[in-house]
Structure 1
Amino acid sequence: MSQPVRQVAVIAHAPSKNTRRLRDAVLRGIANPDIDNVTARWIAPLEAGPEDVLTADAVILGTPENLGTMSGALKDFFDRSYYHCLEHTDALPFAFYVRAGQDGTGTRRAVESITGGLRWKSVQEPLICRGPFDPAFEIQCEELGLMMAAGLESGLF
């Protein structure tokens, strides 16, 4: 008996070469050849809507730190989707990463505040990629994607 295919919505703002590298690493992790029954779909936050969340089995959010908080594009996604998802996505597994040139604390707090209100279930500590760009950030993002895919495939979440 085959398992149903699970879907991860990757809603990530990737306006720069480095943020695109992180997004692509997350997608590579989900597409790991050891994972058979999980697929991913990247949606830019300005194009994403509540239907993308309502049809997903899990969500990975990605954002650069802009002025000490999440990008305006990710905030716009939440503004348009929050009330449509409220009461329909309780305990939705999610994870997120932040490309933080400085600290990332305000961005983390903002994302956790909104996802807490939605009652989504964080399945991993937020990944805060701080300071000058480091290629190790890509490895960490790939591991984040793989962890989400493996957890979905195994039924852990």
Structure 2
Amino acid sequence: MVVVNNMTTSTKTLLIVAHAPSPNTKRLAEAAYKGANHPDLEVKVILKSPQDTQPKDVLAADALLLGTTENLAYMAGLTKDFFDRCYYPVLEEKQGLPFAVYIRAGHDGTGTKLALKTIITGLRWEWIQEAMILQGKWQDGFVEQVEELALTLAAGVEAGIY
């Protein structure tokens, strides 16, 4: 809780679920965490791996940022496992949850994006922007893009826009 002008407000929670099996994808997860934890924002940020994320984590969140790799033209298996475990337990209570995703894709990321669109449509979560696909060979600029995405989502949640 935060007290502003003698009024108590609840701090919003942003859950970041990031699959980070390599040093570069770990950098992306860290960038998301850093962006969402901007010093001007009053948002509680939780960073978890897909395998450590439980339905209770999603139920406690006011927004969710997902980071996944593209594996065999699909999302990472651990990302799919996260949805398998959490889909039905959160389905009714988290409709309208603000959602964003970044996909680290060695190829084009379209299979991963399509699969995620299907799942997110079923959950009735709200995309804050089109899926961010970090495509091709690694570029250091990916880190900045993910940090900015997380900052945008956190600022929107804090402001009540999302």
Instruction: Please indicate, yes or no, whether the TM-score normalized by the shorter chain is above 0.5.
Output: yes
1:1-157 pair list within 5 angstroms = 1-35=7-41, 37-157=42-162
Structure 1, unpaired ranges of 5+:
none
Distance 1:88 1:5 in 2: 19
Shift of 1:133: 0.5
Distance 2:33 2:17 in 1: 11
Distance 1:14 1:3 in 2: 33
1:10-34 deviation digits (Å, cap 9, x = unpaired): 1110000010011111111101112
**Counterpart code for 1:74:** T
Distance 1:2 1:29 in 2: 25
State, as a whole percentage, how many aligned pairs show the same letter: 48
Distance 1:154 1:59 in 2: 15
Shift of 1:3: 3.3
Distance 1:71 1:10 in 2: 16
Distance 1:79 1:138 in 2: 28
Structure 2, unpaired ranges of 5+:
1-6
Q: Secondary structure at the match of 1:132?
A: coil
Say which one has the larger Rg: 2
Aligned residue pairs, count: 156
More strand by share: 2
Distance 1:53 1:112 in 2: 18
Q: TM-score, normalised by structure 1?
A: 0.97
**Counterpart code for 1:124:** Q
- Deviating above 4 A after TM superposition, structure 1's stretches of 4 or more consecutive aligned residues are none
